[in-house]
Amino acid sequence: MDPVEVCVVHVAADAAGRTFDATVRVLAQLGLRQVLLPLREGPLARSAQQLEVRALQWPGNLLGRIRALETELAALAGEKSFYAVHLHGAVACLLGSRALRANALRSRLPLTARLLFSPQLYDSSSWKSRLTGRLLRAELAPLHSGVLIASPGEAHVLSRLLERSAEVLPPAVDPAFFQVLRQPATRPTVLAGGTGMEAVDGVSRLAVLLNGRQDRVALAWLGSVISAGRAQLEAAGVQVFDGEDPAGAARLLSGAAAYVHLSQANGHLSALAQAMAAGVPCLATDTLAHRVMLRHGETGLICAGDLDFVEKLILLLRDASERERIGQAARAEAGRLFTQRHFETAVLRAYGFERVTLLPRKSVNAA
């Protein structure tokens, strides 16, 4: 019997995330064939050239989508030997977990096939998140052998909602941030970022509070932002840099006196990890995820609100030695936890590999 190619199947509603890209690259280094089933039309991953993309016509109703996914997975299982099926995002986990339990698909899946779930559920406070959490718990319970994969902050949310532990994927920071030399500008410059319009509102308020003083502070936003957010920031006197290019973002951080991260969500911590890796003293909203990332007073500062941000930031700007101390400690912490090597190790562990293991491209025979 001819050998069947081993593959990993990714199911994702949005395949443009950095964590998805980084995971695909790690698996590609092992020689694993990877197939992506996107649940909707949209931007593909930057690493799409390392994937076989099978675009499908998805029905509008929920049951039809589940059946379409079940049919496609069953067809794929007839062509290839599944090493793993990885469901990315809450929608993919809900649809995919139901499809995986179908008899037609279960009979085709190898008993050793690994199931991985990345729900990307960062918040448990809103009614939508609570409802999604209950649905996930009901759908994932029968697939108890599957591996949950989460960011540091998300892991705590998922452990409470799903009553299961998760494999934690640390932020994967580009080497450019670790390599850049610190060159603080003569005039103190503060970079800021965060998630959603809530962060835009917070940075806009911070700009007003800071620049109502005699000694004005240059404040700039680093990271992507929707057009309405960009207009609001610029109206508040905040310059906007998209930060998409790692080398360019690292250069901007090298001259920053501090970095402010505003977010109530428990995910999207890459920007904060990058600032730490660049040796910038960081101030962040008081959330569980940020407390996981920063040790208050040692590797960064946790702030309770607008005035607390302003007070701590002013004290930091007035004390160069304190900025140096916290920035160096943050960089050392990032070097211990947030390198690409740490991310790769966590991905391989979640997929059941040791770091030194190399899986042959063709190693499993059809049953």
pLDDT at 202 over 90: yes
At 181 the pLDDT is: 94
Q: How far is CA 43 from CA 12, 13, 15, in A?
A: 11, 10, 7
User: Mind listing the pLDDT tens digit for each residue in 220-261?
Assistant: 999 988 899 999 999 999 999 987 889 999 999 999 999 999
Q: At 219, which CATH number?
A: 3.40.50.2000
CA atoms of 267 and 99, how far apart (whole Å): 27
Residues above pLDDT 90, as percent of the chain: 41
Q: Domain range for residue 54?
A: 3-172+342-365
Query: Where residue 282 falls among pLDDT bands split at 50, 70, 90?
Result: very high
Q: Based on the domain organization, do 280 and 134 belong to the same domain?
A: no
At 266 the pLDDT is: 61
Tell me which of 60-64, 85-89, 254-258, 338-342 is least confident. Answer: 60-64
pLDDT at 105 over 90: no
Residues above pLDDT 70, as percent of the chain: 88
Q: Based on the domain organization, do 328 and 286 belong to the same domain?
A: yes
Classified as helix, coil or strand, 340 is helix
Q: Based on the domain organization, do 88 and 162 belong to the same domain?
A: yes
User: Mind listing the pLDDT tens digit for each residue in 309-320?
Assistant: 999 999 999 999
At 3 the pLDDT is: 43
Q: Based on the domain organization, do 134 and 18 belong to the same domain?
A: yes
pLDDT at 187 over 60: yes
CA atoms of 128 and 115, how far apart (whole Å): 25
Q: Based on the domain organization, do 346 and 357 belong to the same domain?
A: yes
User: Long-range contacts for 18-21 (Cβ within 8 Å, ≥24 apart)?
Assistant: 18/172, 18/270, 19/118, 19/151, 19/169, 19/172, 20/45, 20/47, 20/88, 21/45, 21/46, 21/47
Stretch 17-29: mean pLDDT: 85
Q: Which amino acid is at 343?
A: F
pLDDT at 356 over 60: no
pLDDT at 297 over 90: yes
Q: Based on the domain organization, do 88 and 148 belong to the same domain?
A: yes
Q: Based on the domain organization, do 13 and 157 belong to the same domain?
A: yes
User: Residue 280 in contact with residue 256, Cβ under 8 Å?
Assistant: yes
Q: How many domains does the chain have?
A: 2
Higher pLDDT, 46 or 70: 70
CA atoms of 151 and 166, how far apart (whole Å): 9
> Average model confidence (pLDDT) for the chain?
85
237: left (phi over 0), alpha (psi -120 to 50) or beta: left
Query: Where residue 125 falls among pLDDT bands split at 50, 70, 90?
Result: low
The pTM score is: 0.83
